[in-house]
Amino acid sequence: MDHFGYREDRLFAEDVALETIAEAIGTPCYVYSRATLERHYRAFDEPFGNYPHHICYAVKANDNLAVLQVLQRLGAGFDIVSGGELDRVLAVGAAPDNVVFSGVGKSVAEIKQALCAGVRNLSLESEAELDRVNAVALGLGKRAPIAFRINPDVDPKTHPYIATGLRENKFGVSATDALHLYQRAAGMEGVCITGIACHIGSQLTQITPFCDALERVLDLVNALSEIGISLQHLDLGGGVGIRYCDENPPDPAQYAKAMLEILQRRGCTLAVTLEPGRAIAGNAGVLLTRVEYIKPGPDRDFVIVDTAMNDLLRPALYQAWHEVVAVNPGSGEPRNCDVVGPICESGDFIARGRHLAVAQGDLLAVRSVGAYGLVMSSNYNARPRPAAVMVDGAGYHVVRNRETTAELFAHEKMLP
């Protein structure tokens, strides 16, 4: 459920007409809805009830400071994957002990930064990383709280680029390797074992892979307990999908119910961490864009808009499908079309094979772009990144200024 919808043929975000924002701020422009972010956060938090749990929002889905701030005020923790993301969450006042640090390639500098800040734990993904974290912690006179990220080898049935829990993926360690690594870690002075983690992929639309992964992780928890290694928390990762088109992903309540059933049946009382990213932010954002030209093509027309793959990479990167709608429907002839950007790449499309009634100058909204949208943007073709706005009830705030072209080359130097 999101807070974008039509009122008398005008598309609104909460109580603000999107055309008002486009006129004041210009296009392209990302628009986020605060009420939607809050609703999605609560949808994960509430079903866990009294079971000890932390919702650590996956910052990489949308790292805008205002988005982080909204979630932080609700009590969210954060899942980070870089030192840059750590700086961001600290900038909005996050408590470091509610931050977990994931990722396969943590640098020495990032490990130091995380240990000095006092994050709750680091999810480790290899033996080499264990050795590095141990050495860095010893150098600082600290003990690093660690979990290992298990690769449970289950098929998440999602796009191959966002599947992470298969044996052939670069993520996590196998259950067999994990036993050995936990034993090694238990004898190290610079680390302190606190938990176990797992994240099998993104945009999962079925619940079974989550259940299979949890069962396998709990098997490992038992095996560890038999060799005298006890844990305090269990990190289930993120991955719950959203509806872009006609998918039917489990809603957060169904997901929570399934996880709780397994935990209870297996007698597990470990505190649980969840790391939803897309399911919180994805349907909380749209991208406003204006039609520059309509160009007839052999099979269908090209609707050339002022946004492009540099602003929204998902269609080009994953052949992702995003709904495109008219902000004020009613103008133009219905036509078969591709919605494309101005960039010099044939991969620069926003939507292909659509049937839309549009005319030059119309305002369109690309839906479900709140996650993995602006965070993946670039300046390709020397295009400044778009502005971003957060709607809050009947008002809105600019939460990212549109870049200027001068800013784009401010870090560059000419030869003397």
Ligand X SMILES: *Cc1c(COP(=O)(O)O)cnc(C)c1O
> Using CB atoms within 10 A of its CB, is residue 201 exposed (0-12), middle (13-18) or buried (19+)?
buried
CA triplet 118, 120, 121: central angle to 5 degrees? 105
Shortest Cβ distance from residue 383 to ligand X (Å)? 26
Side-chain-side CA neighbours of residue 64 (13 Å):
31
Shortest Cβ distance from residue 275 to ligand X (Å)? 4
- State the number of binding residues for ligand X (CB under 6 A): 17
3-state secondary structure of 160: helix
With beta carbons less than 8 A apart as the criterion, state whether 227 and 183 touch: yes
| CA–CA dist 390, 396 (Å, integer) | 5
- Considering only the stretches 135-143, 177-185, 235-243, 297-305, report the one whose residues sit in contact with ligand X under the rule CB under 6 A: 235-243
- Considering only the stretches 236-244, 309-317, 341-349, 394-402, report the one whose residues sit in contact with ligand X under the rule CB under 6 A: 236-244
Residue 76 — φ and ψ, nearest 5°?
-70, 150
- Considering only the stretches 217-225, 237-245, 316-324, 340-348, report the one whose residues sit in contact with ligand X under the rule CB under 6 A: 237-245
98 is a site residue for ligand X (CB under 6 A) = no
Site for ligand X in 1-60 (CB under 6 A): 58, 60
Site mask for ligand X (CB under 6 A), range 55-74, x = bound: ---x-xx-------------
Site for ligand X in 294-353 (CB under 6 A): none
Tell me which DSSP letter residue 141 carries. T
Shortest Cβ distance from residue 2 to ligand X (Å)? 16
Residue 331, token pair as written in the block:
């103008």
202 is a site residue for ligand X (CB under 6 A) = yes
CA of residue 202 relative to chain centroid, distance: 9
Single-letter code of the amino acid located at 373 = G
Residue number with CB closer to ligand X (12 or 32): 32
Which residues, other chains included, contact 402 with Cβ-Cβ below 8 Å and sequence gap of 6+?
A: 25, 26, 29, 384, 385, 386, 387
3-state secondary structure of 302: strand
279 is a site residue for ligand X (CB under 6 A) = yes
Residue from 83, 156, 172, 237 in contact with ligand X (CB under 6 A): 237
Residue number with CB closer to ligand X (55 or 294): 55
CA of residue 42 relative to chain centroid, distance: 17
Residue 313, token pair as written in the block:
């990479």
Shortest Cβ distance from residue 100 to ligand X (Å)? 8
Single-letter code of the amino acid located at 407 = E
Residue from 2, 38, 45, 79 in contact with ligand X (CB under 6 A): 79
Residue number with CB closer to ligand X (238 or 285): 238
Tell me which DSSP letter residue 210 carries. H
Residue number with CB closer to ligand X (192 or 375): 375
Place of tokens 């971003």: 388
Query: How many residues would you count in the chain?
Result: 416
Shortest Cβ distance from residue 291 to ligand X (Å)? 31
Site mask for ligand X (CB under 6 A), range 239-278, x = bound: x-----------------------------------xxxx
Residue number with CB closer to ligand X (278 or 385): 278
Single-letter code of the amino acid located at 2 = D
Residue from 3, 34, 54, 199 in contact with ligand X (CB under 6 A): 199
In 3-state terms the chain splits into helix, strand, coil percentages (rounded to 5) of: 35, 25, 40
Shortest Cβ distance from residue 347 to ligand X (Å)? 23
Shortest Cβ distance from residue 61 to ligand X (Å)? 5
Shortest Cβ distance from residue 387 to ligand X (Å)? 24
Count the neighbouring beta carbons within 10 Å of the beta carbon of residue 8: 6
Catalytic sites, residue numbers: 344
3-state secondary structure of 415: coil
Residue number with CB closer to ligand X (4 or 57): 57
Residue number with CB closer to ligand X (81 or 366): 81
* Binding-site ranges for ligand X (CB under 6 A): 58, 60-61, 79, 81, 102, 199, 202, 237-239, 275-279, 371
